[in-house]
């Protein structure tokens, strides 16, 4: 109790002041120690560029004065690669940033190692003088000549630059800001000899040349902490993205070649493998990642955000790139053969927009002789279907593909008035611009029209095909009747299109080969399950197909249509020639 009272005893004024002074001295000493420690640490960890995060006591062998410190191998280098300006051209110093980072220097020097400058100075003339190749050669006192590798010519500004000084003048704290060889480019051709010699002999220039050579050696040999680590990590990141992009392109090409849809209703990266609405593209990414470790790692790394290259925008970009590449190759082949023919046809798509397909037909000479090639070059959106508007769209499309309309030797369309019209049709408009572009109407379309109009002109034939269509409708309208039919037939009955004559051949052939079995099926139908209308239709159809006239027509038209169908297939072949047609 007495001890507690003693501890609570109030200090005297002198004792209180003494204790306060001791605390101040202790704080001052701590602050001095902390400040000293921070200064020592700064000398080891000071960073002058945004590209580095960790440090090493050992400095690189070359002195570039910027961000040359060892970089942790765990660091993600995507940002470093992206930091390279899109306008940076290693050949042209005028495109280099004023403040260069190590990644910029390494990229430029590495790219210029095997760069042979083309000494052509077509646009360098100023006041009657121009750059000459002699400026890039230095005469030594012993009579020998050596190449001024430090000097380069900018084709964009038509000026001269000193490569080492442009790269290192900031990092070496050199006072070269007023030298045109470093800043904007040297263009004073009148004083070129003395200015080049003066710059070449300067101490600052020599220091920068040494820095350049030192960095070149470290890049070539892999020596130097920053260069080796930086280049290895950049190379690793490059290989990673190459593998990812190659996989993405392969998937896109596979789906495109199959004509499959890419997207789903749920395209969130974190839902890949969990949702069944991710779409074929993302589902294939997920499937391949089970057998591809880098892709699996990439997928897991970016599920919470970040760059993946899986978006629909990237998919469309790759599709456009692939499409453009294919088109360029096709157009290159067409231009090499010079002459070509065009085939255009209009049709509405599923979104009810009118589109015109574009086909180019040409002949390619190879070791086996000549080969006829038909190449599809895409669709053209059509807003007006008049002959004038369509011909304008076709001509513009040909010119956009860098083809000459004068080299067109043939044109083929359907028999519509807007296409085949003699005065206002597309063929007439193009013939007025090129009389060698001979118009050949679509032979398959002509054959189809002949068949359709022939059946309409004879009532008995029209009635015959009507019975075949009603017979198909009778069985296909009921799943029960269709099941009974298929249990007794090997080949199902076919309907036909009113616009496609060739479809009638399949319908007639299926019934002709199995007429007796179809008649038997009518006897197997349970009349109790049939409605009154179905009973009436069954009775009339059975009576119609049992008629002698129908059977004769069936056999006759099977032979006729088989012959027509063979001709139709030949006419639609991409290899057919005009003499065969």
pLDDT tens track for 60-115: 344 444 444 333 333 433 444 455 566 677 778 888 887 777 777 877 887 776 56
pLDDT over 60 (residue 144): yes
Higher pLDDT, 220 or 276: 276
- Check residue 42 and give its pLDDT: 40
pLDDT tens track for 306-341: 778 888 888 999 999 999 999 999 999 999 988 999
Q: Give yes or no for a contact between 284 and 255, defined as CB atoms under 8 angstroms apart.
A: yes
Mean pLDDT of 115-138: 79
- Check residue 174 and give its pLDDT: 54
**Angle, CA of 448, 450 and 455, to the nearest 5°:** 100
Q: In 95-200, which residue ranges form alpha helices assigned H by DSSP? A: 102-112, 163-168, 192-200
pLDDT tens track for 413-432: 888 888 888 888 888 999 99
pLDDT over 50 (residue 348): yes
Question: Please, which pLDDT band fits residue 176 given cuts at 50, 70 and 90?
Answer: low
- Check residue 24 and give its pLDDT: 64
Q: What is the DSSP string of 68-96?
A: -S---TTS--HHHHHTS-TT--TT-GGGS
Q: Parse the chain into domains and list their residue ranges.
A: 2-34, 90-223, 229-318, 330-441, 446-571
pLDDT tens track for 189-219: 888 888 888 888 888 898 888 888 888 877 7
Question: Please, which pLDDT band fits residue 405 given cuts at 50, 70 and 90?
Answer: very high
Tell me the torsion sign for CA atoms 314, 317, 323, 328: negative
Could you tell me the CATH superfamily of domain 330-441?
A: ATPase, nucleotide binding domain (3.30.420.40)
Q: What's the first-to-final CA gap in the chain, in angstroms?
A: 126
Q: What residues does 376 pair with on adjacent strands?
A: 359
Report how far apart, in Å, the C-alpha atoms of 386 and of each of 186, 421, 422 are.
61, 11, 13
Give the integer Cα–Cα distance in Å for 341 and 360: 6
Q: What is the chain's Cα-based Rg?
A: 41
Give the integer Cα–Cα distance in Å for 220 and 110: 8
HSE, side-chain direction, 13 A CA sphere, residue 333: 18
- Check residue 49 and give its pLDDT: 36
Question: In sequence order, which residues have a C-beta less than 8 Å from that of residue 427 and are 6 or more positions away?
Answer: 411, 413, 419, 420, 421, 439
Give the integer Cα–Cα distance in Å for 300 and 279: 19
Report how far apart, in Å, the C-alpha atoms of 164 and of each of 64, 65, 105, 333 are.
11, 14, 10, 46
Give the integer Cα–Cα distance in Å for 473 and 507: 12
- Check residue 349 and give its pLDDT: 76
């Amino acid at each position: 109790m007495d001890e507690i009272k003693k501890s609570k005893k109030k200090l005297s004024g002198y004792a209180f002041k003494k204790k306060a002074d001791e605390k101040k001295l202790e704080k001052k000493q701590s602050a001095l120690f902390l400040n000293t420690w921070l200064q020592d640490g700064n000398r080891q960890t000071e960073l002058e560029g945004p590209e580095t995060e960790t440090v090493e006591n050992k400095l690189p062998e070359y002195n570039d004065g910027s961000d040359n410190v060892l970089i942790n191998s765990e660091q993600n280098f995507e940002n470093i690669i992206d930091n390279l300006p899109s306008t940076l051209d290693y050949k042209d110093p005028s495109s280099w940033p004023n403040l260069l980072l190590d990644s910029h220097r390494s990229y430029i020097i590495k790219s210029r190692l095997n760069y042979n400058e083309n000494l052509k100075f077509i646009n360098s003339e100023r006041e009657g003088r121009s750059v000459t190749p002699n400026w890039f050669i230095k005469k030594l006192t012993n009579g020998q000549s050596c190449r001024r590798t430090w000097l380069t010519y900018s084709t964009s500004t038509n000026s001269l630059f000193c490569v080492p000084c442009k790269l290192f003048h900031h990092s070496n704290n050199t006072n070269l800001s007023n030298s045109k060889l470093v800043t904007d480019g040297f263009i004073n051709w009148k004083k070129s000899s003395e200015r080049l010699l003066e710059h070449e002999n300067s101490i600052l220039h020599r220091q920068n040349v040494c820095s350049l050579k030192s960095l070149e050696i470290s890049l070539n040999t892999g020596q130097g902490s920053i260069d080796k680590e930086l280049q290895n990590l950049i190379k690793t990141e490059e290989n990673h993205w190459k593998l990812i992009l190659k996989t993405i392109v392969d998937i896109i090409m596979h789906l495109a070649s199959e004509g499959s849809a890419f997207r789903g209703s749920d395209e969130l990266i974190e839902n890949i493998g969990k949702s069944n609405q991710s779409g074929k593209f993302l589902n294939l990414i997920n499937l391949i990642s089970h057998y591809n470790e880098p892709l699996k790692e990439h997928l897991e790394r970016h599920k919470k955000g970040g760059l993946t290259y899986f978006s629909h925008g990237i998919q469309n970009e790759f599709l456009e790139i692939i499409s453009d590449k294919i088109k360029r190759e096709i157009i290159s082949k067409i231009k090499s053969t010079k002459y070509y023919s065009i085939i255009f046809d209009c049709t509405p798509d599923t979104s009810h927009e009118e589109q015109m397909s574009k086909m180019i037909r040409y002949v390619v000479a190879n070791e086996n002789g000549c080969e006829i090639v038909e190449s599809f070059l895409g669709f053209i959106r059509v807003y007006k279907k008049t002959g004038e508007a369509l011909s304008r769209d076709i001509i513009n499309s040909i010119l956009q593909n860098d083809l000459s309309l004068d080299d067109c030797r043939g044109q083929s369309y359907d028999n519509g008035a807007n296409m085949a019209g003699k005065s206002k049709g597309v063929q007439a408009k193009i013939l007025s611009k090129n009389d060698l572009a001979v118009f050949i109407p679509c032979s398959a379309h002509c054959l189809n029209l002949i068949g359709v109009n022939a059946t309409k002109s004879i009532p008995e034939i029209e009635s015959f095909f009507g019975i075949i269509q009603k017979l198909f409708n009778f069985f296909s309208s009921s799943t029960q009747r269709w099941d009974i039919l298929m249990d007794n037939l090997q080949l199902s009955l076919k309907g036909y299109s009113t616009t496609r004559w060739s479809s009638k051949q399949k319908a007639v052939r299926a019934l002709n080969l199995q007429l007796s079995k179809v008649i038997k099926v009518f006897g197997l139908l349970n009349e109790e399950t049939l409605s009154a209308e179905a009973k009436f239709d069954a009775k009339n159809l059975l009576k119609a197909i049992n008629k002698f006239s129908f059977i004769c027509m069936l056999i006759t038209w099977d032979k006729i249509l088989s012959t027509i169908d063979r001709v139709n297939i030949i006419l639609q072949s991409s290899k057919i020639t005009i003499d065969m047609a």
